[in-house]
């Protein structure tokens, strides 16, 4: 038996039988499928308008009932107390809404909806990305409302800084919602899902300086919070809200992009694999 030899003509690489992940038709299908899934969930969100307001309720309550207490408190940052609080509330909104995004897919799993979609030729990745895209749009609308209420209460910040803040919300939503969907794919019931999310969320929130800046913290607490990527995101949004787009925004962008670069591909892998 002779050993298998390389094809004599090197000019014609074998064409794959089915489009690979990088062929134009596959990316076009991925895009079309993502928009289809996005549209489905956007229509559902718009139909259930209460959901939009409900997610906003907690940060709005903080803004209205807690914000005024900070007016004269020395917070140690640049700008006034609204420029410190509203960026924190934006990150809080993004964190809590996105972290519970997976709840929806958990319900759909129980109703057989996810399985019904998975036996169609729809791109497995689009089932994730379409949902994440809808979460981003929803969070951006909610963020805009939150900022507008903030302005009504006395927040003054440059438009560009607010836009940068929204950019951070979008990145955070992409990464945290992806992780939430990944968790929802791994567990079977809301009873398993909610405790995990809660036990991660609360320390993440407290250690990010969302409500009060970490500059007020003792050294050990400050040190602990440095391990939390959200700390850098909060600092970056605060910096943008006082019109400073320097190193702090850069560090925050690195943290947010790093988080996204880890969590989105991890969730994508899980959606590809789950089932077959």
Residues of this chain that bind other proteins (CB under 8 A): 17-18, 29, 33, 36, 40, 43-44, 47-48, 108, 110-113, 115-122, 275-276
Q: How far is the CB of 268 from other proteins (least distance, A)?
A: 17
If the CB atoms of residues 134 and 231 are measured against other proteins, the closer one turns out to be 134
If the CB atoms of residues 44 and 189 are measured against other proteins, the closer one turns out to be 44
CB under 8 A, 24+ apart: contacts of 155-158: 155/82, 155/83, 155/86, 156/80, 156/82, 156/83, 157/79, 157/82, 157/83, 157/86, 157/241, 157/242, 157/243, 158/241, 158/243
Q: How far is the CB of 33 from other proteins (least distance, A)?
A: 8
Q: How far is the CB of 245 from other proteins (least distance, A)?
A: 42
If the CB atoms of residues 111 and 215 are measured against other proteins, the closer one turns out to be 111
Q: How far is the CB of 92 from other proteins (least distance, A)?
A: 28
If the CB atoms of residues 32 and 152 are measured against other proteins, the closer one turns out to be 32
If the CB atoms of residues 29 and 206 are measured against other proteins, the closer one turns out to be 29
Nearest of 248, 265, 273, 234 to residue 85 by alpha carbon: 234
- Tokens encoding 229: 């990527």
Angle at 254 between CA 251 and CA 256, to 5 degrees: 110
Q: How far is the CB of 36 from other proteins (least distance, A)?
A: 5
């Amino acid at each position: 038996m002779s050993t298998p030899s390389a094809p004599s003509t090197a000019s014609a690489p074998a064409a794959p039988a089915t489009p690979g992940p990088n062929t134009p038709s596959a990316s076009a299908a991925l895009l079309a499928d993502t928009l289809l899934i996005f549209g489905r969930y956007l229509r559902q969100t718009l139909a259930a308008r209460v959901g939009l307001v409900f997610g906003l309720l907690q940060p709005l309550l903080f803004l209205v009932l807690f914000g005024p207490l900070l007016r004269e408190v020395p917070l140690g940052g640049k700008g006034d107390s609204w420029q410190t609080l509203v960026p924190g509330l934006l990150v809080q909104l993004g964190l809590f809404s996105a972290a519970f995004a997976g709840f929806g897919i958990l319900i759909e799993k129980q109703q057989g909806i996810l399985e019904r979609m998975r036996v169609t030729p729809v791109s497995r990745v689009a089932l994730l990305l379409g949902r994440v895209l809808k979460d981003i749009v929803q969070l951006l609308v909610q963020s805009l409302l939150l900022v507008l209420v903030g302005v009504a209460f006395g927040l003054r910040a440059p438009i560009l800084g607010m836009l940068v803040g929204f950019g951070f919300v979008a990145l955070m939503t992409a990464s945290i919602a992806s992780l939430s969907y990944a968790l929802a794919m791994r567990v079977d019931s809301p009873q398993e899902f909610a405790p995990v999310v809660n036990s991660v969320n609360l320390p993440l929130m407290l250690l990010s300086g969302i409500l009060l800046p970490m500059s007020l913290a003792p050294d050990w607490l400050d040190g602990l919070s440095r391990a939390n990527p959200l700390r850098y995101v909060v600092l970056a949004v605060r910096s943008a809200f006082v019109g400073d787009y320097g190193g702090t925004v850069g560090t925050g962008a690195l943290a947010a992009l790093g988080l996204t670069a880890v969590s989105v591909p991890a969730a994508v892998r899980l959606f590809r694999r789950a089932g077959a």
